[in-house]
Amino acid sequence: MELPTIFLPDPIPLKTISLPLPTADVPSYTPLVVPPSDLREPEGTKPAKENTEQPPPQPTLNFPPLPPIPIPSNEVLITTSIAAVTAVAATTFTQPIIENIKKKLQKFLQGKINTWKAKRQKKKDSSKNLKKT
C-alpha cells in the first residue's frame, strides 16, 4: 500500500531584529523643608509688627424695616450682570429656533405613529378575515 507523502521545501532563514532595551525617565522632586512646630524667634530680635490695618468697611444698603444689606464689590456686580444679560440673550435668541424644531419633530413623530397605527389596523383586519373563512 502506498501512502501519500508531502515534500516540504527547506525553510527560508529569517534575520532577527535586535531591539534596544527600553529606558525610563524616573521623576524626582526637591524635598520640602518644613520648619519645626516649636519654631521661635532668635534671641535678641524684636517680634515683627503684625498688620493692624483693617480693610475699609463694606458698603451697605439700609431699609428701615430690614437689617443692613451688604453691597457686593464692583467685580462681582459686573460678572453677575454680564452672566444675566448673556443668559437672557441666549434664551431669547434660541427660543424660536427650538419651538420650530419641536413643531417639526412633533409632526414627524405623529406621522410615524399614524402610519404604525394604520399598519396595525390592517393586520388586525386581515387576521379577522382569515379566521372567518
Residue 82 lies in a domain: no
pLDDT of residue 16: 87
Report the range out of 7-11, 57-61, 85-89, 118-122 with the highest average pLDDT.
Answer: 85-89
Total number of domains constituting the chain = 1
pLDDT class for 95, splitting at 50, 70, 90? very high
Residue 3 lies in a domain: no
Give the pLDDT confidence of 62-92 residue by residue, as tens digits.
888 888 888 888 889 899 999 999 999 999 9
| CA pair distance 79, 87, nearest whole angstrom | 12
Residue 74 lies in a domain: no
| CA pair distance 121, 127, nearest whole angstrom | 10
Residue 122 lies in a domain: yes
Determine the Cα angle at 59 with ends 55 and 60, to 5°. Answer: 135
pLDDT class for 132, splitting at 50, 70, 90? low
β-pair partners for 60: 70
Q: Containing domain of residue 124, as a range?
A: 96-128
| CA pair distance 93, 114, nearest whole angstrom | 33
* pTM check: above 0.85: no
Amino acid letter at 121?
A: Q
Residue 114 lies in a domain: yes
